[in-house]
Amino acid sequence: MKNIVIFGAPGSGKGTQSDRMIEKYGLNHISTGDVLRAEIKKGTELGKTAASFIDNGQLIPDDLMVSILASVYDSFGDHKGVIFDGFPRTIPQAEALKKMLDERGDKVAAMIELDVPEDELMKRLILRGQQSGRADDNEETIKKRLVVYHSQTQPLIEWYKKEGLHYHINGLGELDRIFEDICEVIDNI
């Protein structure tokens, strides 16, 4: 089983590359952003709580995210692996994910980091906001999200390096070249 954490700043291409990995490897995909946006759209209590954090560029509380993830993960039954997209975002979340998978006899096989310069991230996210109408893709919120990423999320790189699971991918350039680099990692784990 190949459980993979796809990692990078907002706008680094995690969703795009996840779609390609799903198609090639038959993996399941848990995008915390998609799960939360669906709950917000439905107007559930979880959605309302999540919206209050997201609208301010903040992270969802760990206990809430872990219970959501466990439920979605368990719903897959027998599978080839899962791409975790947008989670973990902090070291305590990484520890909680490791524990949750351990309890199921599973583990993370790799953390694939898509590295993209900040000026490019800003361009991509503003364009995405214009095309999709996502309310959180505006300059002010993007800046907040990048500050949160650098202060709370980026330390995960060192954590996964210590676990021996970190793989760095240059996320700038041709989509096909980026995907080839990702496939090389997956094929060798």
162 catalytic, yes or no? no
Would residue 134 show up in a list of annotated catalytic residues for this protein? yes
**Residue 91: its H or E element:** helix 91-102
Q: Which contacts (CB < 8 Å, 24+ apart) does range 154-158 have?
A: 155/90, 155/91, 156/7, 156/88, 156/89, 156/90, 156/91, 156/94, 156/111, 157/7, 157/113
Angle at 20 between CA 15 and CA 86, to 5 degrees: 25
Annotated catalytic residue within 37, 98, 128, 161: 128
Task: Let me know if 128 is a catalytic residue.
Answer: yes
Q: Is-contact 98 123, C-beta < 8 A?
A: no
Residue 78's CB is within 10 A of a number of other CB atoms, namely 5
Annotation marks residue 124 as catalytic? no
Catalytic-labelled residue, pool 98, 134, 144, 161 = 134
Respond yes or no: is residue 89 known to be catalytic.
Answer: yes
Q: Which residues are catalytic?
A: 14, 89, 128, 134, 145
